[in-house]
Amino acid sequence: MRFTDWATRVMFISLMFAALIIVLLIGRGTQLQNNTTTFNTFNTSNTSKAEVTPWTQYPQAQFQSAKYPEKKPQVVVKSPVKTHQPQPVSRYVTTQAFARYRPHYQVVSIDPSNYGERYTTDVNGRPVNNQPIVVLHETGYSASSAINFFQVAHKDESVQASYHALIKLDGTVVYLVPPEKRAFGAAHSVFDSPDGLETVQTNPNLPPSVNNFAYHVSLETPADSYNSDSQATHSGYTEPQYHSLAWLIAQSQVPDYRITTHKQVDRSGKKVDPINFDGNKFLDLLNIYRQVRPIYRTQR
């Protein structure tokens, strides 16, 4: 065999091996691309289906995210009626009307300076075990202005403020502070309960308040009533606001008599909100969205 023929065959064989290697590399690259595409598609699918984490249970009360309206409160409260054994206990359960009503909602983060922890002792180290209350407010201005204020850091403790939730004019529920945290919704304040006056001082530089055991909810003030402190010039709240408020509170174990207003708990003499609030209408809706269910436990 001549040298030229041998060299030609060697070159041809080399080209064949090179082509085979290129084909294998192209196939491997396509497989990696397909695997990456599949992984990214799976992650995107999971992200799109991810649900908002529900709020942790507030002691003795449960306030759920709107993603979980079908869950039932699990906390029980003792019946005020004294009977012989078996002793009845009761708990609030949501109704079919509650399940049918699905308000829009938002979850908004606010600056950590505007809320804090719930304490188990007061400034003097004494244990505190107040049962929860719900305090109703109004924003005074637009919902956006209130949210903007809460999102700004405030070093001055006397101006730090927040609500746990806010309800817009269209009924949208805006979650601001998780219920296990202490919102700064009321300054000097006291709740007048059937068992006496309730308040807790957690800051030695500030007067006592109900914040440590309160869940604060605010209604957005109608545009024609901004900064109004008069019933005559305040147009009141919308139908969706009443329904969303009742829907939200229906998820708690807070009894009716422990639902109050900023005006009722305030001790500064300056707070009058929520103005023109129809308490009877709210309670009627609350009773539509939740009911008391007695539970009997046999004596062992």
Q: What is the CATH number of the domain that holds 165?
A: 3.40.80.10
> How far does Cα 289 stand from its chain's mean position?
18
Token pair of 39 as six digits: 């992984």
Residues 146 and 27 in one domain: no
Q: What is the DSSP letter of 195?
A: T
Look at residue 228 in the predicted model and tell me its pLDDT.
83
Does residue 186 sit in the same domain as residue 273? yes
CA 221 centroid distance within chain? 20
DSSP code, position 67: T
3-state secondary structure of 166: strand
Counts of helices then strands in the chain (DSSP H, E): 6, 13
pLDDT score of 90: 87
Among candidate residues 51, 74, 77, 62, the one with its CA nearest the CA of residue 180: 62
Specify the pLDDT at position 49: 31
Find the radius of gyration of the CA atoms of the chain: 30
Burial class (CB in 10 A: 0-12, 13-18, 19+), 35: exposed
Q: Within a domain: residue 65?
A: no
Whose structure tokens read 């039932």? Answer: 72
Longest dimension (CA), the chain: 116
Instruction: Look at the chain and report how many structural domains it folds into.
Output: 2
| Domain carrying residue 46 | 1-50
Question: Same domain, yes or no, for 231 and 186?
Answer: yes
Are residues 292 and 211 located together in one domain of the fold? yes
Phi, psi at 5, each rounded to 5°: -65, -40
Reported as a single tens digit per residue, the pLDDT across 184-227 is: 999 999 999 999 999 999 999 999 999 999 999 999 999 999 98
Torsion of CA 124, 126, 127, 128, to 10 degrees: -60
Is 234 inside any structural domain?
yes
The answer to whether residues 127 and 253 belong to one domain is yes
Which parts of the chain sit beneath pLDDT 50?
Answer: 23, 28-86
Query: 3-state class of 252 per DSSP?
Result: coil
pLDDT digits (tens, 9 = 90+) for 133-143: 999 999 999 99
In a domain, 56, yes or no: no
Do residues 81 and 42 both lie within one domain?
A: no
